[in-house]
Structure 1
């Protein structure tokens, strides 16, 4: 197993940096090296004193500082090219992170699982598409404790590693020989944002893969370094990225089609987030008065018997409004166009069409026929056993393939043309977007 130099560029905010250092002292094997590089904010002296005091008894921790403030990109480049003369692989680690047990061992394992694995990133509470959960229905922010609890519950259900289209720079493990061959970050990206995406696209062109280590987890706190400049930095730098790699957006869409359903539904596959099971009743064919009465009996039974343990919502076509909307005015009632969120269970009255099954595939962990006994059984016995996970993946892959074919067949020249115009404006006239965002804040 390779040795690694962990590079931690620091600017300010001792509170988060101290957590980062403490976690590295606790969970990093001392055969690995840590280089903390101070990028000279107006607080640099105070930061230096605290860092040196914190690492004084740890022989594998080293400290250095820039002569002037260089910004994140140049600081990383300097650390790799000038300060670390070893042949170690490199882990670029944000100072607003906190590592966990075996994080690096798991990342190294993925890096060396294949000669073409070039970059590896871990899971986190706050790292866009690497976050756990990736998405959720809560009307409040998931805490870092909740995220880690969900991760621990599902870690063994995730596949150990997956290829991703790009990395997320908060924790970025790179093979040393790739840096030696192709360099690190392009300094056109200035203070930061999208430099890691540019690097990933560059090495992808050389045949390397970017990987996600699902058995490694690192906490990431909200960065305080960029302040209000963050949004404009992202916009300007993403314009540069997309000018170089117009296929980047397509890679994003491809990844979304390949997402593991255990990840996609992770908020629903554990008990941590929801006090009640989210249940969706689907009435997607026109019903007559008698049939509507039978459905109402089942819904009333569910509300009476399970009302306190389920969050019941209804999906219907407009023709059925007259039977259900007035009767259940206190229950969220959706149409296919307005439906929001995902559900533990969706059950239908009557057979679903193929289009309905495609749509519900991304809405519910379990989809069943709405017979009364089946509904009660599903609510009481839904689990995340190995067999259940495999069934979920099998169903998901089948309907995602159907959806992909349907989307491809329905695409038309006008839609593709409009998409190209939007992309052109975004890439070549980024200041339109920047000024619009500035104006929006005052509207």
Structure 2
């Protein structure tokens, strides 16, 4: 029994993205879910929008970063499954049921993710669409009813990140060492693998990702420096380079 999924969406001054994100969830999700928006101190009307749309809202007084926002959402989640979703990710027909099928394909699978137009590693795939209508059509064809195409990997990118509650109960929260963000997802994957969980990419589930919109807005001149700093933090913590876990051409281990 896989029950309900808690969809946790951290956001910061991204109402224009959040609206489309929520619209796609509501249009294309065919299994039980709740939406938890964690507002990282926005001043663009996000709170009023969430109230109007009757979304569960956690309103933080200022921007605590992506890992902390996710942790607030995880603490509030009621679902058997938890899904961390970037506010600039737009989902597609049967997306969540497809991910859940992968998650429950084996007892030892702990985290799954989709493929997308924009990500690091093998989750990025070639796409042919040029607008959101084209995306939905392409994703619908890719994820035909009954489709199952899973690949074991060593890391899942945190843009759309589904895991069993048992993973959280075993390994805890995201490490806020990586605030404001980047490599907290790699860290969580590494800890999950150390705990004996396997990771799968659902190749038949396609989502659209606008691409690090929030971070690039907040750190226009220091984005690469932020990513490199957090890579070093991972390296110092685990004594391994997280770049070795990026499966570029489909190799899985």
Report TM bin, short chain. 0.7 to 0.9
Q: 1:73 aligns with which of 67, 70, 74?
A: 67
Residue pair 1:2, 1:108 contacting (<8 A) in 2 also = no
Aligned to 1:49, what secondary structure does the other structure show? helix
Q: Which runs of 5+ in 1 are unaligned?
A: 135-140, 261-443
Residue pair 2:171, 2:195 contacting (<8 A) in 1 also = no
1:106 correspondence with 2:107: no
Alpha-carbon distance change, 142 to 21 in structure 1, aligned in 2, over 3 angstroms:
closer
Alpha-carbon distance change, 69 to 152 in structure 1, aligned in 2, over 3 angstroms:
closer
Q: Which has the higher contact order (CA 8 A, sep 6+)?
A: 2
Structure-1 residue corresponding to 2:29? 28
1:208 correspondence with 2:189: no
Q: Which has the higher helix share?
A: 1
TM-score by length of 2: 0.85
Q: Deviations over 1:30-85 (max 9, x none)?
A: 731111111103x15x22122322x14xxxx322211332111111111112x22x
Q: Deviations over 1:61-110 (max 9, x none)?
A: 322211332111111111112x22x2521000111111111000000000
Structure-1 residue corresponding to 2:160? 171
Q: Distance in 2 between matches of 1:30 and 1:151?
A: 18
TM-score by length of 1: 0.50
Alpha-carbon distance change, 202 to 37 in structure 1, aligned in 2, over 3 angstroms:
same
- Larger C-alpha radius of gyration, 1 or 2? 1
Q: What is the Cα deviation at residue 28 of structure 1?
A: 2.2
Q: Which runs of 5+ in 2 are unaligned?
A: none
1:64 correspondence with 2:58: yes
Residue pair 2:50, 2:56 contacting (<8 A) in 1 also = no
Matched length: 242
Runs of 4+ in 1 over 3 A off after TM superposition: 141-156, 247-252, 255-260
Q: Distance in 2 between matches of 1:220 and 1:258?
A: 20
Q: Say what the alpha-carbon RMSD is for the aligned residues.
A: 2.6
Alpha-carbon distance change, 204 to 150 in structure 1, aligned in 2, over 3 angstroms:
same
Aligned to 2:214, what secondary structure does the other structure show? coil
